[in-house]
A and B are shown apart, each in its own frame.
Chain A
Amino acid sequence: MSHALTNTAAVTRLEWRRLLVRPLAWVLAALTVAWLAWNFTLMLGSFLSSQIQRAAQPDGPGFIDLVGVPLLGQLAQLAFLVVPLITMSVISGERRNGTLPLLFAAGVPAWHIVLGKYLAVLGWLLLWLLLTLAMPLALLHTTHFDWGKLGAATLGLALMLAALGAAGVACSTFASHPALAAAAALVIALALWSVNLGAQMAGINGGVINWLAMSSHLQPLLRGLVSTTDIVWFVLLIVLALALASRRLAADRERG
């Protein structure tokens, strides 16, 4: 057990270091946070200008409904592009550098490598979420906060980022080139999001196809509804993606 922890921590540390020194992670963080800050300012301006009309409806939507959750919604949209770019080279980059055998030769099992790399990516993604959350939280003392709604939406976003991150790591394990991994992760993320689009257009709500769609599980959380089913869906996706990645990496070691 202690070997498992040490191995995973060593791989996480290595991947985290590689993420921090690569310009891509910094450029993505700077561009997306700037974009979100600009949108936050626009939404805040709109919220402030409609304050008098909303004063007449005491139970109407508040700051979190009109600014906080839409901001997180924009982060979710950006995640479809950012997560594949962040995860694309975690394993396929190692394969191209020829450094993967170094990890195997240090006695690190495949699943420790996958888990270690996933945790590093997850750390970066959660930091990105935290930076975005800091914008509405900066107004903590100036307006009323619906903590329940913000908490549920944050949980939803964290689960979504964790799931997309796991899918990205899996794609990177299967792809021979980082660009292929990014493309595959983008396609999978979009497919997971919109798998029920056809069914909804045909007026079918519910059923397996709707259960499969990520949007069916994220939307309730963004509305403030936390249900075990939605959380389990995300956890299953994470476990499945990491298990596939570990299996593939172990097969790589066998194949040589």
Chain B
Amino acid sequence: MLRLDQLSRRRAGRPAVQNLSLTLPRGQVLGLLGVNGAGKSTTLSMIAGALRPDSGSIQLNGMDFLEQPELARELIGWLPERAPLWPELTVSEHLDAHGHLRGLRGAVLKQARAAIIERLELQPLARRLAGVLSQGQRQRLGLACALLHKPALLVLDEPANALDPVQVAALRSLIREQAAAGTAVILSTHLLTEVTAVCDRVAILHDGTLRHDGPVHSGDHAALERSFFEIAMNSHTQPAHAA
């Protein structure tokens, strides 16, 4: 589904991501783990099509995404960090706007909107302005916008931010449900519990380079924690190769 090859990007005069290579098949959930400033959000912005890499390539379903940025329209759903919204639009209008941008219209859009509103329990908020939503509600709306057009690749940047424990559990079940339906999911987090609870594979980024890429075994929290702290504390760990 997704193949990153030697992806690099500089930001604010320093390398934010360096020579990152990764693959992600359909139906797999990949957790992107790293401390603040490790390059997670930059990587996800490039995968989502919001930021162009300085070098390297991104392939979606075998097609060059950098040559055909319009592939994002149908294939990718993206929830950026802090879920940016238009404060003057209602929840329902947000979903319509995202639907139009993704090429949905008429009955198809109406159906997709109703389904996602029901799935994410947004009915009580449907007519509320985004500007007055709480952070958790904003996050749910952002997630609804990302899922509206049933993307083949779901890119989630810190999706559990500001959610309460009940909502976190609902989010985990939603991610697993998407993966079971064949969607490839890549999510960034700095919470190890999030990775062990929901991901099939984990990639650890540090200083913009990939330091670890391997499967997540259930109940393997302690081993993952050890690897993470080793990488975070010792920045001289050798970069890992793509799985």
The SS class assigned to the A binding surface is helix
In Å, the complex CA distance between A21 and B129 comes to 11
In Å, the complex CA distance between A18 and B96 comes to 13
The reply to whether B89 and A107 contact each other, CB–CB distance below 8 Å, is: no
The reply to whether B84 and A3 contact each other, CB–CB distance below 8 Å, is: no
Interface residues on B, range: 20 to 34
B149: nearest chain-A partner, CB-CB:
A106
A21: chain B residues at CB < 8 Å are 88-89
Contact of B86 among A11, A13, A99, A107 (CB under 8 A): A99
The reply to whether B101 and A103 contact each other, CB–CB distance below 8 Å, is: yes
A3: chain B residues at CB < 8 Å are 70, 73
The reply to whether B84 and A102 contact each other, CB–CB distance below 8 Å, is: yes
In Å, the complex CA distance between A6 and B105 comes to 10
With an 8 A cutoff between CB atoms, is B102 at the interface? yes
On whether A105 and B11 interact (CB within 8 A), knowing A10-B100, A21-B89, the answer reads: no
- 0/1 per residue, B11-52, Cβ < 8 Å to A? 100000000000000000000000000000010010011111
In Å, the complex CA distance between A129 and B66 comes to 43
With an 8 A cutoff between CB atoms, is B194 at the interface? no
Please, could you name 23 A-B residue pairs with CB atoms under 8 Å apart, sorted by A?
A6-B100, A6-B103, A10-B101, A14-B97, A14-B101, A97-B84, A97-B86, A98-B82, A98-B84, A99-B84, A101-B84, A105-B48, A105-B50, A105-B80, A106-B73, A106-B98, A106-B102, A107-B70, A253-B52, A256-B9, A256-B45, A256-B50, A256-B52
The reply to whether A254 and B88 contact each other, CB–CB distance below 8 Å, is: no
With an 8 A cutoff between CB atoms, is B182 at the interface? no
Q: Interface size (A, Cβ < 8 Å)? A: 27
With an 8 A cutoff between CB atoms, is A26 at the interface? no
- 0/1 per residue, A19-35, Cβ < 8 Å to B? 00110000000000000
With an 8 A cutoff between CB atoms, is A38 at the interface? no
- 0/1 per residue, A216-250, Cβ < 8 Å to B? 00000000000000000000000000000000000
With an 8 A cutoff between CB atoms, is A9 at the interface? yes
B52: chain A residues at CB < 8 Å are 253-254, 256
